Structure 1
């Protein structure tokens, strides 16, 4: 009698957050615009703000200010960053939404035995707050924000900090993201990288086999039939 056993291509998957699992750009833009308008600087569209997301909060503010020709000295950026993060922390997920099928696919991956981790350039406390509001924090074995790692993305030490917390040394795992920052981070860590096909992920150059139409495609079931 033949029996079938099933194994996964990866024992664990680590995900980026913003732009990969959730569309948080509207809340980020709203928090930034409160800061900009209070200082009599021009408010920006969500599409404009989205171009600067990926390198962390300070880089977001700095690069936006440079693009607008606003003062970008350390003192100005420090003050603007603090105000932006205060605004964001008050309403971190009012406008944030999951990308289609993301929540159900995360649950399906975990239910079939794949462990999940999160590597985000959001500050740790803010990331946990957003995940708590969205009701998915419990799905992840490890969540590591930018200020909870030795360095932040694109430094691979950030991604490896997640792997270390999950004890993934020597085990098959991969990273999933939506930006060149994520791709560079995975390359530095020496792990496979998959780009999502929504949002800014469409602009990341990867092989067709490394582009995801759905997160559930990563269940990677390999069937091996064995004779009793």
Structure 2
């Protein structure tokens, strides 16, 4: 058995580069209202807190109407756009798929904790062909509270029955880091996507996911980041 008995992963920015599909869905919302479309890089800055926060923060940044009614309508439209084409432009980060398959083969149990809505998360994982690798997937709308609230991550661990087991959370944002710290769970930041902007000690930065399957002693819960 490797370093951990189980691993929980963030999805967007950690396992997959979904920013192009998210940006395309956002731009359909903007274009329909006659507002200027934005680059993938610009939209990507607002990913991490879920769809409503994504659109609200983006509208505020652009000086667009951001009242509740406008944002609520935009969220509904965005989700419908995204559901129609959830993975047309989405790609795995290098080595991620093979590393997930390696970890699965070695017997490490895996789950996902994501601020993407539940149905969209399951649909994307199915399209990409990795759904069978994960025991539990909990999107933002399927949890008692969403990240950075630790209840989201603990909902995943509870459904997986990880109490007393050695496990860690892997992500790419400060939101993920704060979630793990609040849940008192070891946290690793990936080196790709936005992960390089998360301040962690070198031993908590991952260049390959498969490194968590290396034979070594597990780190005590409460460390990391």
Give the structure 1 partner of residue 46 of structure 2.
52
Distance 1:71 1:83 in 2: 16
Distance 2:62 2:216 in 1: 51
Q: C-alpha displacement at 1:8, in angstroms?
A: 2.1
1:23 aligns with one of 17, 20, 25? 17
With normalisation by structure 2, the TM-score equals 0.95
With normalisation by structure 1, the TM-score equals 0.94
Aligned partner of residue 81 in structure 1, secondary structure: helix
Aligned partner of residue 116 in structure 1, secondary structure: strand
1:46-104, CA deviations, whole angstroms, 9 ceiling, x for partnerless residues? 00000000000100000000000011110000000100110000000000000000000
Give the structure 1 partner of residue 126 of structure 2.
132
Give the structure 2 partner of residue 173 of structure 1.
167
Query: Does the Cα contact within 8 Å between 1:10 and 1:220 map onto a contact in 2?
Result: no
Aligned residues: CA RMSD: 0.8
Alignment of 1:57-136 (within 5 A): 57-136=51-130
Distance 1:203 1:191 in 2: 20
Q: C-alpha displacement at 1:220, in angstroms?
A: 2.9
Query: Does the Cα contact within 8 Å between 1:194 and 1:210 map onto a contact in 2?
Result: yes
Give the structure 2 partner of residue 222 of structure 1.
216
When the two structures are aligned, how many residues end up with a matched partner? 217
Residue 160, structure 1, aligned to residue 188, structure 2: no
Asked which structure has the greater RCO (Cα within 8 Å, sep 6+), the reply is: 1
- Structure 2 unaligned runs (5+)? 218-225
Structure 1 segments, 4+ long, off by >2 Å, are none
Distance 2:40 2:65 in 1: 21
Residue 213, structure 1, aligned to residue 204, structure 2: no
Aligned partner of residue 195 in structure 1, secondary structure: strand
- Structure 1 unaligned runs (5+)? 1-6, 224-228
